[in-house]
Amino acid sequence: MDNHTIFRFIRPGLQTTIQDKGRSGYQHLGVPQGGVLDKHAAKIANWLVGNNEHNPVLEIPLAGPSIEITGKCQIALTGADLSATIDGKAIKMYRSIKVKSGSVLSFGKLISGCRTYLSIGGIWDIKPWLSSFSASASNIEKMTPGSLMNKGHFLKVKINKFIPKRKFPKSERPVFKSSLSIRVLGGPEYKEFPSAFIRTFFNQSYQLTKQFNRMGCRLTGKTEGYRETREIISSAAIPGTIQITNSGQPIILMNDAPTTGGYPRIANVISKDSDKLAQLKTGDKIKFILVALEDIWKT
Amino acid sequence: MIFKPFGDSALLIEFEQKITTEINQMVNALCKAIDNETITGIDICIPAYCSVTVLFNPLEISYRTLCRQISNLDFKISKKTIVRTLNIPVCYHKSFSLDFDILQKQTKLKKEEMIEIHKNGTYRVYMMGFLPGFAYIGKLPEALHCKRKANPRQNIPAGSVGIAGQQTGIYPGKSPGGWQIIGRTPLPVFQPESINPFLFKPGDIIKFHDISIDKFRQISNDLSTDKFNLNQIYG
């Protein structure tokens, strides 16, 4: 018998997808870069099971799957706490876990954050598309078949030799707060907004609406001082860009956002804070802090 | 050219903010010059109508160094630049052209006149975006300028040719969309499973050719049986 372990999805979860570092390099042809939203969580998850840091992982938002595991394996969970259990027994996050054949891995109540990352030690039996295993941003079943978990779906992994147990120190694990500050740089159209609106933008806490996914997060807040700017000729839109829609409300673009857009770009989230966006959910509060490009790499 | 930081890992280079052939040619020439220079730390150049976005790794190159290196590049539009011309067959038959009735009200033109204007234009791919393989093709002659649909359609078939504002475009796969649909091409604009999935690229010159519904079926058939040589569309 080969050393493949089968993961069968008894319940698929809300939107469980395979993700890796994404497919940057095709944006000029309209292909979003995609990839894991919380890069740090995915990297640690892979480290915990001895994988390369860019190995694919499962990204599990809000409501997790139920997975029947046939064959043994070593797994790890990082990111959001989704009350994971194996055969009904709670398991700890941020450490390598050996799983026996016939076990069922399930997820329950969301305790903190938004997205859990599940790594499996070994080589995943999946096909890349444009040099990435990440689920496509659109038309998933046609472009990247098998990257979105459906009921009854099978995932096959050729299991590596188990590594000695690893644990990621508690003191270094992120704490997911429901109210947070996000550092931004002024965006390309920053100077075109009325100063009264710029004040509104930075002086308030925005709230994340129900409309958020891997493409973008719509926020809601006060619009005092907002006035429509000139019409923008469409130009590139990159993850972390904060656009202001015609109603004066912000949208933060995420990894699966279309590669171009026509809304004015007020600000851009700095790379160091982008992982935090991945763990936001409806109702969470965000305050934007303006920083200078020169200061980012000092801290 | 105006250089603007675009987040901490991208540089936005803006040309005069206008949609013109000359400016878009400059955009493509700059992208080419940057690609040829192979500057360490650059991930990709994304051209748009009148801007270029350069994604870079700030751990490998600083924003300032990148700006300096790019502003030192010598690039110009030359007649020698090899540009592809693609001849795209379009069937304007009523079974594919869903919106001529609405367009008649907006443009005050007859269907035949609209087809004539659309197919006689010479266009370029100004930018790609919206969906993988979707090309923003322009500029549409002013007589055909029209509004997007107030309520976008949920399912537009692949190959549908749409118009909106001063642009025309072809839906690469079944997708939602708000452009007015005037015809369909039998050609595959986007084939994810192919080695080269993209029919278009930024800077391509596009010409449309009016084909009958019978010809549309024949080409579709030939494509499905591998009898259609795609090379014949390049001219």
Nearest chain B residue to A191 by CA: give it: B4
- Rounded CA separation B116/B101 (Å): 16
The pLDDT of residue A299 is above 60: no
* Alpha helices per DSSP H over chain B: 21-37, 63-71, 100-107, 111-120, 213-224
CB contact under 8 A, A30 and B132: yes
**B75 and chain A: CB distance < 8 Å anywhere?**
no
CATH numbers and ranges of domains, chain B: 2-71 (3.30.1360.40), 85-233 (2.40.100.10)
CB contact under 8 A, A185 and B43: no
When pLDDT is cut at 50, 70 and 90, the band that residue A298 belongs to is low
Neighbours of A56 (CB within 10 A): 27
* Percent share of chain A, pLDDT over 70: 98
CA–CA distance from A73 to each of A101, A150, A160, B20 (Å)?
8, 21, 8, 58
- Rounded CA separation B91/B86 (Å): 16
Q: Report pLDDT digits (tens) over A261-276.
A: 989 999 999 999 999 9
Strand, helix or coil for residue A232:
coil
Strand, helix or coil for residue A199:
helix
The residues with which A184 forms a beta bridge, in sequence order, are A269, A290
The pLDDT of residue A1 is above 70: no
Q: Determine the structural domain holding residue A47 and report its residue range.
A: 4-172
Of A124, A146, A172, the position where a domain reaches its end is: A172
The pLDDT of residue A190 is above 80: yes
Q: Are A119 and A49 in contact (CB under 8 A)?
A: yes
Of A128, A153, A172, the position where a domain reaches its end is: A172
Give the gyration radius of chain A's Cα atoms.
20
Of B197, B180, B179, B178, which Cα lies nearest the Cα of B189? B197
Judged by average pLDDT, the poorest of A76-85, A198-207, B27-36, B78-87 is B78-87
Q: Report pLDDT digits (tens) over B181-218.
A: 999 999 999 999 898 899 999 999 999 999 999 999 99
Q: Report pLDDT digits (tens) over B112-153.
A: 999 999 999 999 999 999 999 999 999 999 999 999 998 899
**B136 and chain A: CB distance < 8 Å anywhere?**
yes
DSSP annotation string for B38-85 = T-TTEEEEEE-SSEEEEEE-TTTS-HHHHHHHHHT------TTS---E
Burial class (CB in 10 A: 0-12, 13-18, 19+), A246: exposed
Q: What is the mean pLDDT of residues A217-242?
A: 93
Q: Report pLDDT digits (tens) over A127-139.
A: 999 999 999 999 8
Strand, helix or coil for residue A279:
coil
Neighbours of B57 (CB within 10 A): 12
Domain count, chain A: 2
Domain identity same for A39 and A144: yes
The pLDDT of residue B102 is above 90: yes
Of A172, A204, A219, the position where a domain reaches its end is: A172
